[in-house]
Structure 1
């Protein structure tokens, strides 16, 4: 379960150019105040003090900037989830911690920074690459936990691993996908414990 580097959103200009980071930082602050949908590249250019043409040297569109911001936010959530899983010794507890961290991290984004949450909603609606990669990486982490649980004898081995992974991922998805999350808030406090307990009972050998 080694953490690998995250792909970055498509952009122009040198990938390590500090101007790119400056644009992303300013865009994050601007989107936090005014929202993603209501902001144009011209608005960002005026805020930063660059020309719109100069910004386009580094990012091909507003969505490309949004992708970078979304990637950063989802990367933070993934890091929290991986850290929570790493703190547990046994696969069942790793699964419980994974459920809990996913819900808590997603809710923190929803409640603490609603303007940035709008970016995540746009990303999920339009199926941006950043959201696809995020879900794939967490699904891979889940698969690793399940595989470990089979090796230690904590989980059953009869069901194909990919089938089990896909099914549990669907159980987690209401708290991974921001479009579904907003309709799952009434159950958020109880969800991690109840869902993980149900899943663990189904995994018993």
Structure 2
């Protein structure tokens, strides 16, 4: 799993494994949670930590770079939960159902448990930060693995090109990966995972 996590982008400044970097991220997470991402400046963070603004810039080139790390940490947590849920079943159709459900459940919990931190997720989605692009590619890779496994087991049809199948199913899932889209369908989220996954599974029947 650690090798897969390396695909997430991180700030290029300063040593990657450094306690000051972690201290800045921890303080920023707390500060953003209290005051909001948009209203917080690097100067505000520097004052709250007791560092100079110039010292923070030795590790992060901008406020967005700090936000990217926080966003990455949240997305890694979602991906870890997804993989943990998938590891509990070996049956490809059930894995697809689990994928839909775990994406919705984990995304709702992390994107909306803290409305201030939601601002970071919203900015990341709107501005297409590298962290979100990498995350969506990782989800597509997981989905591709499930479809390939199901075809090998004879559970799914094999006539449609694999990349086309993955793209179509990803487009069905995508509204639940994006916090901006997810907030507009909250009233459907209780039933959506089961209904959508059942519809997709019927289309995959051999």
**Shorter-chain TM-score above 0.5:** yes
**Judging changes above 3 Å, is the alpha-carbon distance between structure 1 residues 9 and 3 closer, same or farther for their aligned structure 2 residues?**
closer
- Which sits farther off after the overlay, 48-57 or 103-112? 103-112
- The question of whether the paired residues in 1 share the 8 Å contact of 2:5 and 2:76 is answered with no
* Pairwise CA RMSD: 1.3
The answer (yes or no) to whether the contact 1:11–1:64 under 8 Å persists in 2 is no
Instruction: Map residues 106-185 of structure 1 onto 2, 5 A cutoff.
Output: 106-185=107-186
Query: Distance between the aligned counterparts of 1:2 and 1:27, measured in 2?
Result: 24
Q: CA deviation at 1:110?
A: 3.0
1:2, CA displacement in angstroms? 9.1
Structure 1 Cα separation of the partners of residues 73 and 44 of structure 2: 22
Contact 2:111–2:121 (CA under 8 A) maintained in structure 1:
no
Give the count of matched residue pairs: 205
CA distance in 2: counterparts of 1:198 and 1:54, whole angstroms: 53
Q: Distance in 1 between matches of 2:5 and 2:184?
A: 32
Aligned to 2:197: 196
Q: Which residue of 1 aligns with 2:5?
A: 5
Aligned to 2:96: 95
CA–CA distance in structure 2, aligned partners of residues 19 and 182 of structure 1: 35
> Structure 1 residue runs of 4+, over 3 Å off?
none
SS of residue in 1 equivalent to 2:157: coil
- Match of 1:133, SS state, is helix
